[in-house]
Amino acid sequence: MSIQNEEESKEQNPSSVTRRKFLKNTGYVVGGAILGGIVGNLIGKPVQQNNPTEAAGPATDYNQALMFFTIEQFRTVEAATERIFPADELGPGAKDLGVAYFIDHQLSGDWGFNSRDYMQGPFYKGEAVQGYQGRLKRREIFDIALQEMNNYSHTKYQKKFYELTAEQQDEVLTAFQNDEVKITTISPSGFFDTLRSATIQGVYADPLYGGNRNMDGWKMKNFPGNQMAYTDIIESEKFAKIPPKSLKDHVQH
Amino acid sequence: MAKKLPKVDVVLVGVGWAGGIIAAELTKQGLQVVGLERGKERKTEDYFMVHDELRYAYRYELFQDLSKETVTFRSNEKVRALPMRQYGSFLLGDGLGGAGVHWNGQTYRFLPYDFEIYSQTIERYGKNKIPAGMTIQDWGITYDQLEPYFDKFEKMAGISGEENPLGGKRSDKYPTPPMKYSPQMKMFQDATKKLNLHPYATPSANLSEAYTNPDGIARTACQYCGFCERFGCEYGAKADPVVTVIPVANKTGKFQIRTHSYVRRILHTGNKATGVLYTDVTTGEEIEQPADIVVLTSYVFNNVRLLLNSKLGRPYDPKTGTGVIGKNYAYQVQKGNALGFYERMEFNNFAGAGALGVTIDDYNGDNFDHSNLNFIHGGGIRISQTGKRPIASNSVPKGTPTWGKEFKANSIKYYNRTLSVSGQGASMPFRHHYLDLDPEYKDVFGDPLIRLTFDFEEQDRQLAAFLAERCGDIMKEMGADTIQVAKDLGPYDIVPYQSTHNTGGVIMGASPETSAINNYGQLWDAENVFVVGASSFPHNSGYNPTGTVGALSYRAADGIIKYSKNGGMLV
C-alpha cells in the first residue's frame, strides 16, 4: 500500500492538480477527439506562472453541476455516500471521488427513469424472490428517501442528515438498511441497497461518468482501467502495478 | 393488412449462433435465406469504448430492452407470476449475433451420458434412482452421432483447448492450442493433480493464436484484456456469429438480414407453416414473409413464446404431463463454490479472458459413483479468470460489514488477493418446471409474455452442497489462508445474477409423445418448421451450453438441407 500512498500524495501536490484540471478543462473546451494531440503535447511541460488559464482564475470542472438533485439532496447524498465509502489512509472517499455528482447524473438519465425496465402494470406485492415490483422510478425513490432521511435525522437529532456527526449518520443509515424506519411508500432497505451499489459504481466506473475522480478509485484498488492487452503479464508470477488509463485515452489521439 | 413479400426458401427468426450457422450452411448450398433480427446490427467497430464496466455490465448495453418485453416468474403454481422488471438472474441477448456476442466463450461438449441420461441412470442404478416428478429423458441422439457436428463447430470458431481426459471421444484435436496458463490456473492444476483429479484447460472461443477457419475467416489472437462476458470483443478474437458465420452467409449473396424486424407469429395452415408475420419496429408496419421453411433460432424464451402465441405444436400441461411446448425448462445450479483469501500473495486478477481457466469433470455427469448420493448428474468444477472488474468484485472476509471504513479497506485489500473455485451444476427437469403464456402481462405489442414456473429442488440442494465440499478441498490444496465455502442453495431467486444458461421448452427426443422436435430440430407437428437452440435440451448439463447449441445447429442445417430436397419427416 505504500506505493499507493505515494501516488495519493503526488495527486495532492498543488501543481499537479492544477495541471490536471487545466487539461480536463481544455479538453472540454476544444473537444478531445480533434485537438487531443495538442492537449497531449502539453503534458509534461511545466505549468507557467503566467498561463492565461491560471490568470483567469481556478480551472473549472463543468461536469460538477447538478442535473437532478436540489442542493439539499446533493448534500445529503454526498454525506451518505461518504459514510458508505469514507476517506481514509488508503485514499479519498466518495465525496472527493465525485460520487454524489455521479449519482445525480445517473438519476437524470435512463437509469433514473427506469427506461429499460418493465414498468407496466398491474402492480402487485410479490415474493422477495420475484424482485422489485414497485411503480416508482429510481428518481422518485430518491426524492422520497432523501426527504425521509432528513425527517428521520430531524426527529432524532433535530438536524439535517448532513449536519450530523459521522456516528449519527451511520446510525441513520443503519436504521434504513435494517428497515427500522417506518415509511409506507418505499422500502428503506431497498433504497439503502440502491444507494450502496450506486456508491460502488460511482467509485469505480470510468471517470467519464463524473465519479472515480482522477481514477483514484482504480488506483486504490490497483485496477488498471482501460488497457488494450495483458498478454505480457498473463503468465507472470509477479504482481503488475500498472498506472490506470481511462476511456478518455481512446479519444485523445 | 400486412404487406406481403415474395416467398423465399427459408426464413430465420433471430440471427445469433443458431441462425448464423444455419444461414451460412444453407446459403452455401444455394438456398435463399432471410434472417429476421429484432435488434440492431452489430460489428466489431462498435466496441471501441467497450472497456466500460458501468455501461455494459451494469446498464446492460447489449441486452434486450425489458421495457418492451420481459418474462414473468413464479416459484410454483400457487403463486401469481410477476414480471422480471429489472435484470438479475439471467441476461437476454438482443441484436445481430444475439447472446453469442456477449458470451465468455467457454465451449464444452456435453458428455455421452447426457444424451442417454435416462437409459444410463436406470441401467446403472435402477428406476428408483429417479425421484418422483423428475422428467429426465434420452435426447433421441447419441454423442457419437453428434460428434462430427461438435468438431465442425469447434473448427469454425477456432476453439482453443486440450483434450478432456474424462470427456467423450474426439475425432480430432482442438483447432488451436489451449490459452496461456496463468499462475492462478497452475495452482488449480497442481492442486487437482495432487488430489488425483483430471484438470484440462477450459476450451475457449477467445483464440489462443491467430486462426483461419475452414470458411477462410481469419481472426486475431486474444489479448487477455479482461472484458468478455457482457461485452463485445474489440479485436474480433472472441468467436461470435458476427465475425464468423454471418460474413460467410453474406458472401454467398443468398442471405438477406433484416434488422429491427420483430417476428410475432408463425403463419400456418394444416400441419405446415406458410411463413411468418413480423413488425418493422422502426415504422410499425406489419409484414408477411412467406417461406418454404421456417426456422426458429431465437433465445429459449422466445422460441417457446412464438410457438405458443402462434398456436403451433401441443402446449405442455403440467397437470397431466402431456403436451410438449414449454416442457422441461431447466437452468443451472450455480452454487457450490469456495472463495480463498491469500494474505501473502497478489494476483493479476484484472487480466483475463472469458474462457481462461481450468476445469475438472471428475464430478460431472456420471463420471463418479452416485450409489450413495441423493442426486444424479453433477457439475464441472473450475477456476475461471475472466478478468475481475472493480464494480463487480468486492469480496470481503465473512464478518466484514457491507459498507463503511472496514468494508472499504477489505474490499481493496482482497481485490487481487482472492481466488475462487466454483461448481457449475447440472439442472434436471421436473414435471412442474415449465414455460407457458402469462395470462396477465403483455409485451409492447400486446402479446402475452412467457411465464416461467421454476424453483430449486432437493436434487439441486444436494448437488450444490456436494460440489461446494469438493471446491473447498481443492481450495485448501491451493493453499488459501482463509476459505469460505458457499453451499446453501436456498430457493430460486430471480434477483441475483446466476447464469444465462436457460434451457428446454422445445425439447428433442425420439417420440412425438414426449418431445417437440426430432434430432434435426424438426417440429413433429409441422414438418417445415425447425426449432434450434438450447430450447431443445431435455435437461441442462454441468457445462456452458454453447458448444452443444453449435453442434445441434450444424445438425439442424444438415436436416434442413435434406428436407429442402426431399421433404417429409427426417426421422
Residue A58: count of CB within 10 angstroms of its CB:
9
Question: Please, is A140 exposed, middle or buried when counting C-beta atoms within 10 Å of its C-beta (0-12, 13-18, 19+)?
Answer: middle
The answer to whether residues B295 and B520 touch, using CB atoms and an 8 Å cutoff, is no
> B437 pairs with which residues across the strands?
B450
Assigned fold of B3-566: FAD/NAD(P)-binding domain (3.50.50)
Residue among B341, B337, B349, B347 at smallest CA distance from B387 = B349
B558-568 pLDDT, tens digit per residue, is 999 999 999 99
Q: Chain A contacts of B73, Cβ < 8 Å? A: 130
Confidence of residue A252 (pLDDT cuts 50, 70, 90): confident
Please report, rounded to a whole number, the percentage of residues in chain A having pLDDT higher than 90: 74
H-type helices in chain A, by residue range? Answer: 2-11, 14-30, 32-42, 52-55, 71-84, 94-97, 99-107, 110-113, 138-157, 166-177, 188-204, 216-221
- SS3 (DSSP) at A118: coil
- Using a CB–CB cutoff of 8 Å, tell me whether B563 touches chain A: no
What integer pLDDT is reported at residue A23 of this predicted model? Answer: 35
- Using a CB–CB cutoff of 8 Å, tell me whether B188 touches chain A: no
- Using a CB–CB cutoff of 8 Å, tell me whether B442 touches chain A: yes
Q: What angle do CA A113, A117, A118 make, to 5 degrees?
A: 120
B87-133 pLDDT, tens digit per residue, is 999 999 999 999 999 999 999 999 999 999 999 999 999 999 999 99
Please report, rounded to a whole number, the percentage of residues in chain B having pLDDT higher than 70: 100
Is residue A115 predicted with pLDDT exceeding 70?
Answer: yes
Q: Chain B contacts of A225, Cβ < 8 Å? A: 51
Residues in chain A: 253
Q: What is the end-to-end Cα distance of chain A in Å, rounded? A: 33
Q: Chain B contacts of A130, Cβ < 8 Å? A: 73-74, 82, 84, 494
Q: What angle do CA B551, B552, B557 make, to 5 degrees?
A: 100
Q: Residues 38..97 of B with a Cβ closer than 8 Å to A: which? A: 48-49, 51-54, 58-60, 65-67, 69-70, 73-75, 79-80, 82-86, 88
Q: Chain A contacts of B69, Cβ < 8 Å? A: 118
Residue A79: count of CB within 10 angstroms of its CB:
23
Q: Chain B contacts of A227, Cβ < 8 Å? A: 51, 225
Quick one: how many helices (H) and strands (E) in chain B?
A: 11, 22
Q: Chain A contacts of B223, Cβ < 8 Å? A: 228-231
List of residues 6+ apart from A40 with CB closer than 8 A: A252, A253
Is residue A1 predicted with pLDDT exceeding 60?
Answer: no
d(CA B447, CA A119): 16
d(CA B60, CA B56): 5
Confidence of residue A120 (pLDDT cuts 50, 70, 90): very high
B contact test, residue of A135, A220, A223 with most B CBs within 10 A: A223
Confidence of residue B31 (pLDDT cuts 50, 70, 90): very high
Residue identified by cell 500498472 is A242
Is residue B537 predicted with pLDDT exceeding 80?
Answer: yes
Phi, psi of A88 (to 5 degrees): -155, -165
A89-118 average pLDDT score: 98
Q: What cell does B13 get?
A: 427468426
Q: How does DSSP classify residue B231?
A: S
B348 compared with A52, residue with greater pLDDT: B348
B398-425 average pLDDT score: 98
Contact B85 A229 (CB under 8 A): no
Residue identified by cell 479519444 is A251
Measured between CA atoms, the residue of chain A closest to residue B385 is: A234
Residue among B44, B38, B43, B45 at smallest CA distance from B19 = B38
Q: Which of A117, A126, A217 sits opposite B86 (nearest CB)?
A: A117
Q: What cell does B187 get?
A: 495452482
d(CA B123, CA B111): 17
Q: Which of B102, B268, B377, B501 is catalytic?
A: B501
Q: Residues 130..189 of A with a Cβ closer than 8 Å to B: which? A: 130-133, 170, 173
- Using a CB–CB cutoff of 8 Å, tell me whether B530 touches chain A: no
Q: How does DSSP classify residue A81?
A: H
Q: Residues 87..126 of A with a Cβ closer than 8 Å to B: which? A: 88, 90, 93, 110-111, 114-120, 122, 124, 126
What integer pLDDT is reported at residue A57 of this predicted model? Answer: 56
In chain B, how long is the greatest CA-to-CA distance? 71
Query: How far is CA A218 from each of CA B223, B354, B395, B522, rounded to the nearest angstrom?
Result: 21, 21, 16, 52
Contact B82 A217 (CB under 8 A): no
Q: Which of A116, A132, A239 sits opposite B65 (nearest CB)?
A: A116
Contact B348 A122 (CB under 8 A): no
- SS3 (DSSP) at A103: helix
What integer pLDDT is reported at residue A44 of this predicted model? Answer: 37
Question: Please, is A49 exposed, middle or buried when counting C-beta atoms within 10 Å of its C-beta (0-12, 13-18, 19+)?
Answer: exposed
- Using a CB–CB cutoff of 8 Å, tell me whether B343 touches chain A: no
The answer to whether residues B482 and B399 touch, using CB atoms and an 8 Å cutoff, is no
Contact A116 B66 (CB under 8 A): yes
Question: Please, is B565 exposed, middle or buried when counting C-beta atoms within 10 Å of its C-beta (0-12, 13-18, 19+)?
Answer: exposed
d(CA B15, CA B104): 18
Residue among B418, B545, B553 at smallest CA distance from B104 = B545
Query: How far is CA B219 from each of CA B96, B205, B213, B236, rounded to the nearest angstrom?
Result: 19, 11, 9, 6
Please report, rounded to a whole number, the percentage of residues in chain B having pLDDT higher than 90: 99
Amino acid present at A242: I
Contact A88 B408 (CB under 8 A): yes
H-type helices in A12-70, by residue range? Answer: 14-30, 32-42, 52-55
A7-21, A85-99, A120-134, B374-388: least confident range:
A7-21
Q: Chain B contacts of A203, Cβ < 8 Å? A: 390
Is residue A56 predicted with pLDDT exceeding 80?
Answer: no
B423-480 pLDDT, tens digit per residue, is 999 999 999 999 999 999 999 999 999 999 999 999 999 999 999 999 999 999 999 9
Residue A193: count of CB within 10 angstroms of its CB:
14
H-type helices in B519-545, by residue range? Answer: none
d(CA B541, CA B551): 15
Q: Mean pLDDT, chain B, as a whole number?
A: 98
Catalytic annotation present for B433: no
Measured between CA atoms, the residue of chain B closest to residue A228 is: B225
The answer to whether residues B381 and B334 touch, using CB atoms and an 8 Å cutoff, is no
Distance from CA of A43 to the nearest CA of B (A): 23
Q: Chain B contacts of A198, Cβ < 8 Å? A: none
Is residue A24 predicted with pLDDT exceeding 60?
Answer: no
What integer pLDDT is reported at residue A253 of this predicted model? Answer: 52
- SS3 (DSSP) at B415: coil
